[in-house]
Amino acid sequence: MQSITNLTLQQSGNKIRLIFNWPAGVTQVHIATANDFTQAKLFTLQEYKMFGGAVLDSPPGTTNYYIFPSCHDAGSYRPTGQAAHVQHINQSIIRFTLEEKIDQYKQHKLTIHPEGYIPAATVFYVKNNHPPASITDGIKYPLEAIRQPTTRIIRTNLDEYIRLFLGDGENLYKLEGQQNGTF
């Protein structure tokens, strides 16, 4: 029975690289995010050598990776050994600036530079007639999914303020930025 040994994980941006000792006599492995071979993705020894490991997307939050040595037998793949397991916690950073300009209305310029994909309803701005202290301190507006740097202009009355918050309790994100500069 073949087994995966010396499994390590490296992260670079929103990608991870799984590195391990490839079992002798095995030409492919299957990698899954659940301990379920039927949901696994095929990786060949040739791909592993070409990329210096198995390269996968790294979603925010906690992800478990299972690597199954496998073989092709009678037209289908089947595991040939125990799955190796590694857990990864990815905290994506969301960089932003929130600036304001006052004319007959207040205009807030929100610029977001995501490190990776940000699902819809993860980042919110909250509006109130005082600087909001929490995500529940005013009217909450969810932002759409963000895949690349994005700028939005938000108009408010002169006596209203907005502040940026995270609202996704399942995944790990960190806001880094400046609120209430001017543009």
CATH number for position 81 = 2.60.40
Q: For strands 92-102 and 173-182, give the pairing.
A: parallel
**Total number of residues shown for the chain:** 183
Number of compact structural domains in the chain:
2
Single residue among 67, 90, 113 that ends a domain in this structure: 90
CA atoms within a 13 Å half-sphere pointing along the CA-CB vector of 135: 11
Across 14-33, average pLDDT? 91
**pLDDT for res 13:** 72
**pLDDT for res 170:** 60
**Beta bridge pairs of residue 128:** 161
For the cut 70, the answer to whether the pLDDT of residue 60 exceeds it is: no
**pLDDT for res 51:** 95
Same domain, 78 and 144: no
Q: Which residue has the higher pLDDT, 88 or 183?
A: 88
Same domain, 39 and 85: yes
For the cut 80, the answer to whether the pLDDT of residue 116 exceeds it is: no
Same domain, 20 and 83: yes
Structural domain for 42, as ranges: 5-90
